[in-house]
Each structure stands twice: as C-alpha cells, then as structure tokens.
C-alpha cells in the first residue's frame, strides 16, 4: 500500500518521492527515476492504493515480445509507461523493470537501473540471455562480484535456480535436467 502523490492509472510505473508519496516515473527526467513499483489499479491523488514492488502481472491488452533481450521491459520516457524499447537519448535514464513471460504477462522485478546515457554508462549492471546447464557458468563482465543476481527461465515451466558468483562468472545450479534458456541480470 502506498499513497499516490498524483493521479495514477492502472499498471503505471512509479517512484517514491521525497514526501513519501508515489508518483509517475519518467525516463527523460532523472528526478523521477528509479522505478520501484507499478500500480495494481488506478489510484486517485492523496489516496492509498496497491503498489506492486515485485511480482507477476497479466493484461490481455499487452502484446510483449518474449525471449532474450527483446523480452526486457523498460521504464519509458512517457510518464508511467512500460516499453520494450530502451530509452536512447544521451540524457535518458535506462532501467529494465520487467521481463515478458508471455505476450500478455510479465515479471516485474526492479531495479535494473543503468544510469544516464541511453543504453547504460555506469557499468554497474549486466544482463543477457544464455542457455545454461546445471553447474554451467555465465560470464557477466562486471569485473567485480555481483551483489544481486536475477535468473528467470524462459518458457512456461518454472525452474528453481541457485547460484554462486565471482568477479567474472555466475555459476548456475538447477535440476531441470537440461540446459534451459535463462534471462539474467547481475548488479554490482
């Protein structure tokens, strides 16, 4: 639950403002980033409502591309909106906030924040898509041990993962019996 600092529509990306209210994020404006939530339903200004901080959402009106980097969903330069096109202007803030699981569903799991500079610039986050066997490795390229790692299997069957990481690789453990394709993100 959170109090809206302005009128918020359903499934709108929000940040926590200095006055502890939730307001629309905008990738074109650094002061309205980092996205930490998405509205579950519309919320009137000054009213408490449900803000999802992490989890699954479905909307039959969505038409997301699924798989690999194409399946990533970003904060948009249009306030509160989701997009599968990473903001590319030099002054834009780039944050992957979700991954498409199907054309009509997503896993919302921020922050995937890449700082200013359209397409990243801080080097603090890496992501990709890799097929990985049990005990297989993913080279993350961060030159430091990640402090946070997200692993999400593509497809409809959930797979439970665990991992270890060092300054060059993430070693992935699972019991799927194959080499599932994994959307991954690592942060330093």
β pairing state of 13-16 and 169-173:
unpaired
pLDDT digits (tens, 9 = 90+) for 10-63: 999 998 888 989 999 998 888 888 888 999 999 999 999 999 888 889 999 999
- Higher per-residue pLDDT: 1 or 156: 1
Average pLDDT of span 146-169 = 76
- Strand residues in the chain grouped as ranges (E): 2-3, 13-16, 22-24, 37-39, 48-49, 51-52, 55-58, 72-75, 82-83, 93-102, 105-116, 125-131, 136-139, 148-153, 162-165, 169-173, 181-187
Q: State the pTM of this model.
A: 0.62
Tally of residues, the chain: 188
**What average pLDDT does the chain have?**
82
Nearest to 112 by CA among 86, 130, 136, 81: 86
pLDDT digits (tens, 9 = 90+) for 54-64: 888 999 999 99
Average pLDDT of span 104-133 = 63
């Amino acid at each position: 639950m959170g109090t809206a600092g302005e009128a918020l529509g359903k499934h709108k990306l929000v940040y926590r403002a200095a006055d502890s209210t939730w307001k629309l994020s905008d990738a074109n404006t650094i002061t309205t980033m980092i996205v930490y939530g998405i509205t579950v339903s519309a919320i009137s200004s000054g009213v408490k409502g449900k803000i999802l901080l992490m989890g699954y959402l479905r909307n039959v009106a969505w038409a997301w591309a699924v798989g690999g980097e194409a399946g990533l969903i970003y904060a948009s330069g249009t306030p509160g909106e989701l997009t599968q096109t990473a903001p590319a202007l030099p002054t834009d803030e780039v944050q992957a906030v979700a991954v498409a699981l199907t054309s009509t569903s997503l896993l919302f799991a921020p922050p995937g924040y890449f700082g200013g500079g359209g397409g990243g610039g801080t080097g603090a986050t890496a992501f990709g898509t890799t097929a990985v066997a049990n005990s297989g490795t993913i080279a993350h390229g961060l030159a430091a041990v990640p402090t946070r790692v997200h692993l999400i299997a593509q497809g409809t069957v959930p797979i439970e993962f665990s991992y270890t990481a060092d300054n060059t690789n993430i070693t992935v453990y699972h019991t799927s019996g194959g080499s599932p394709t994994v959307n991954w993100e690592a942060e330093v």
